[in-house]
Amino acid sequence: MIADAVTVLLIGAGLFFFVAGTVGFVRFPDVHSRLHALTKADNLGLGLVVLGAALQAPDAATVLKLVLVWLLTLAAAATVAQLLARSALEDGAP
């Protein structure tokens, strides 16, 4: 019961950060601030969702897989954000 409640809380908080990141993506004026909103808020949001889902996992292997998913997404998001930011800078975006 307590685990379920914590899961709902964590995933709810995660979804909040996803929404915040998306609002930033839609509302912010230029590439760099949009990237800032997306990568930071979504990575934290996904981390919270993973944490919430891990509480429901039947065994340690599932928790490991969930953490791997999160780490891979973090690495990919960081790399892609850097590449996008640089190419936007080279194209003369503010």
Partner 1 sequence: MIASAAFDILLCLLIVTVAVGSVAARDLFGAVALYIVYGLLLAIGWVRLGAVDVGLAEGAIGAGLTGVLLLGAAARLKAAPDPPRLRIVPLLLCLAVSLGLGAAVLSLSVPQPGLVPLVQENLAASGVGNPVTAVLLNFRGWDTLVESVVLVVALVGVWALAPDDLWDGRPGAAQRVKRDAVLNTFGRLLPPVGLMVGIYIVWIGAYAPGGAFQAGTVLAAVWLLAIMAGVAEPPPVRRPLWRALLVLGPAVFLLAGLHGTLWGAFMSFAPAKAKTMIMAIEFTLTLSIAVTLAMLVLGRPRRPA
Contacts of 33 (CB under 8 A, 6+ apart): 24
**Residue 75 contacts partner 1 per CB under 8 A:** yes
CB contact at 8 A, 51 and 10: yes
**Residue 62 contacts partner 1 per CB under 8 A:** no
Q: Which two tokens stand for residue 28?
A: 């912010």
Place of tokens 């909040």: 16
**Residue 68 contacts partner 1 per CB under 8 A:** yes
**Residue 72 contacts partner 1 per CB under 8 A:** yes
Q: Which one among 9, 27, 30, 86 touches partner 1, defined by CB under 8 A?
A: 86
Cα–Cα dist 21/31, whole Å: 14
Site string for partner 1, 12-51 (x = CB under 8 A): ----------------------------------------
Place of tokens 């429901």: 56
Question: Which residues are at the interface with partner 1 (CB under 8 A)?
Answer: 68, 72, 75-76, 78-79, 82-83, 86
